[in-house]
Chain A
Amino acid sequence: MSDQSIKSRPVYQSLAMDLSGLRHLLVSDSPAYRFEAPPDREVEVWFVAGPDQEGRIPPSETVHERGFRSPRHLIDRLDHRLAQERMGLRLYVSGTEDFLWDVFNTAQRAGMTKQEIFQCHSGTRARRVACVHCRTFNHGVTTTIVRCDGCGANLFVRDHFSRRLSAFMGVKIDAEVAGEVPPAEQAYS
């Protein structure tokens, strides 16, 4: 089954500029972002440097660009920026699913609505999986079944996605009959 049929998971689009906005900010978890903007519009770009930078802030090529050391570094700065922003801003987000929703939740706390935020999924399809039993987050999951880092249960990765947690639900697969665990399949890479 295609994972895009999951009702609780959004269908991500490619990014296009929303011309009803007055100011435009693109945030990306990688330096290799792409965004088509009309020549007469300015887009500010915030991006995360690759691991090859080893903690250095990457140089900006134009005044509209700004580099950050990590996704966390970028989101902390974004939180501060949005607290001072005015109506008319449009926020574009490009990156892994974790990053898309961490940014979305930050923007929603600042008062932005879903009509002002646009998301494009890029990079790994690996899933963040929240264990529903012990609440541990399991990162970078690429298989249909994963052993929980927290409680050790063999979790089936259910097709149910929480935007607030930015995670899929993991449920113990052999809860009814202990040990009935089918082999895990590589599914989301």
Chain B
Amino acid sequence: MGIQFKTDETFRDDFSYRNSDAAVLRFPFPFGEDKYMYSVNIEPHVKAGTSPAFEHAFDVDEHYVAECRERAIVLDHDPKRCQVLAHMMPAQWDTLELLMESLSADYPEHFSLTRDGTAWHWINRPLGLDQRFVFGDASTLPCEPFEYITRQAQGDFTLQDQRDDNLYVDGGMVTTQADWSLEFDIGMSFHEWHGPVPLAHEIGVFDRALQYLLRLQYGHPVRRLNWTMTINPRLDTSPENYPDWGPDRTTVTPENIAGKLHLRVELQTLFRLPRSNAILFGIRCYLISLQDIERVEKWRKRLHRVLASLPPELVEYKGLTRFHGMAVSRLAALDDGAPLSLGIQPDQARLE
């Protein structure tokens, strides 16, 4: 049995996005401990772990069709959300191959890939696509290979070129981002790109992460979770459109916060690519409302503790200032202070 896609939901205007109970329970909750601080929290991306979201190379869930439609809307308004510098064409084909092979192997009921030499045949059933093309010949696809395949995947992707003992963000598909701009950042080195992040530079996080990633091996991808919070289930919180979504932050009240405030988690995966030696960085975004988090006892208590102890620099950087206090006081009433198990798993099989 395949995934039941919720094809009609939206991430703008009426915000009809909702998680099913099953989607709540498989949510990759990012806090394994009661306090949060930056660290090089990278682990091998093997098909196992404490969240069902880790069980596939690229996770596909009930929001797949709706997220692909949302991506198309963003690209229609702003085609520069997908850009790849000219020297990255080998990495574009690497990405297409990796995604097509992974999706068709992990979800054979939804995707199929057949190959005869360079003659490839790709079928994407949820989106109703049937494409024959010549691998290596971009003119046989409706658009460049990186854009073609990342229009059919959930989450953002960037391409890192490795040269001069550094990584450069030389391409990307960025429509569901937490407030960073591909148009502004494209071409930047690892430290430049992470420049605005507070506190982490000083404790050497980026130096060590870079050294680790420069040695990332083909066939052995790695992953980490990152997080922030968003008002309304809005995927496109880009700096480009900040004038449009910024006012949302002033609409939060104690009465509506549980429905409006969403925890936004990024499952970040990094894959070494073969032909190009580039790294594909997947930034898969998951949204869950505060009221759904509250249905899991461990998660509501842990979120309270994490938010209450969050350093002020991070409250500011993550854009939580206007509603942080409101969220903490609401959650405080639901936290008895009892010790919680380590790790991110929900510790319950059904929602309250």
Residues of chain A having any CB pair with chain B under 8 Å: 6-9, 113-115, 130, 132-133, 135, 153, 158-165, 169, 171-172, 175-178
Contacts and interface: CB of A to CB of B under 8 A. Distances in A.
B324 to A, nearest CB: 14
B243 interface: yes
B185 A113 contact: no
Contact of A163 (B164, B192, B201, B249): B192
Contacts of A130: 184
B125 interface: no
Interface string B168-190: 00000000000001011111100
A178 B247 CA distance: 8
A177 B249 CA distance: 9
Given A113-B164, A176-B250, A8 B242 contact: no
B350 interface: no
B230 to A, nearest CB: 14
B246 A176 contact: yes
Contacts of A113: 164
Contact of B246 (A9, A132, A159, A172): A172
B322 interface: yes
B164 A162 contact: no
A133 B240 contact: yes
B239 interface: yes
* Of listed B164, B194, B196, B243, residue having the most chain A CB within 10 A: B243
B195 interface: yes
B184 A160 contact: yes
B188 A163 contact: yes
Contacts of A177: 247, 250
Nearest to A176: B246
Contacts of B192: 7-8, 161, 163
Interface string B197-210: 00001000000000
Contact of A162 (B188, B201, B243): B188
Contact of B185 (A162, A171, A172): A162
Interface residues of B, number: 25
A109 to B, nearest CB: 10
29 contacts: A6-B195, A7-B192, A8-B188, A8-B192, A8-B195, A113-B164, A114-B164, A132-B183, A132-B184, A133-B240, A133-B243, A135-B183, A153-B243, A160-B184, A160-B195, A160-B196, A162-B184, A162-B185, A163-B192, A169-B184, A171-B239, A172-B242, A172-B243, A175-B242, A175-B243, A175-B247, A176-B249, A176-B322, A177-B247
B242 A133 contact: yes
Contacts of B187: 162-164
A108 B93 CA distance: 24
Contacts of A175: 242-243, 246-247
B191 interface: yes
A154 to B, nearest CB: 11
B294 to A, nearest CB: 26
A18 B296 CA distance: 62
Given A164-B186, A172-B242, A7 B191 contact: yes
A158 B322 contact: no
Interface string B29-70: 000000000000000000000000000000000000000000
Contact of B184 (A9, A114, A153, A165): A165
A140 B250 CA distance: 34
Contacts of B243: 133, 153, 172, 175
A161 B187 CA distance: 12
A168 to B, nearest CB: 10
B208 to A, nearest CB: 16
Contacts of A176: 246-247, 249-250, 322
Contacts of B249: 176
Interface string B228-256: 00000000000111110011011000000
Contacts of A169: 181, 184, 239
Contacts of B250: 176-177
Contacts of B186: 164
Contacts of A160: 184, 195-196
A165 B181 CA distance: 13
A39 B145 CA distance: 54
Nearest to A130: B184
A115 B163 CA distance: 12
Nearest to B206: A7
B196 A132 contact: no
A34 B328 CA distance: 58
A128 to B, nearest CB: 13
Contact of A171 (B191, B201, B242): B242
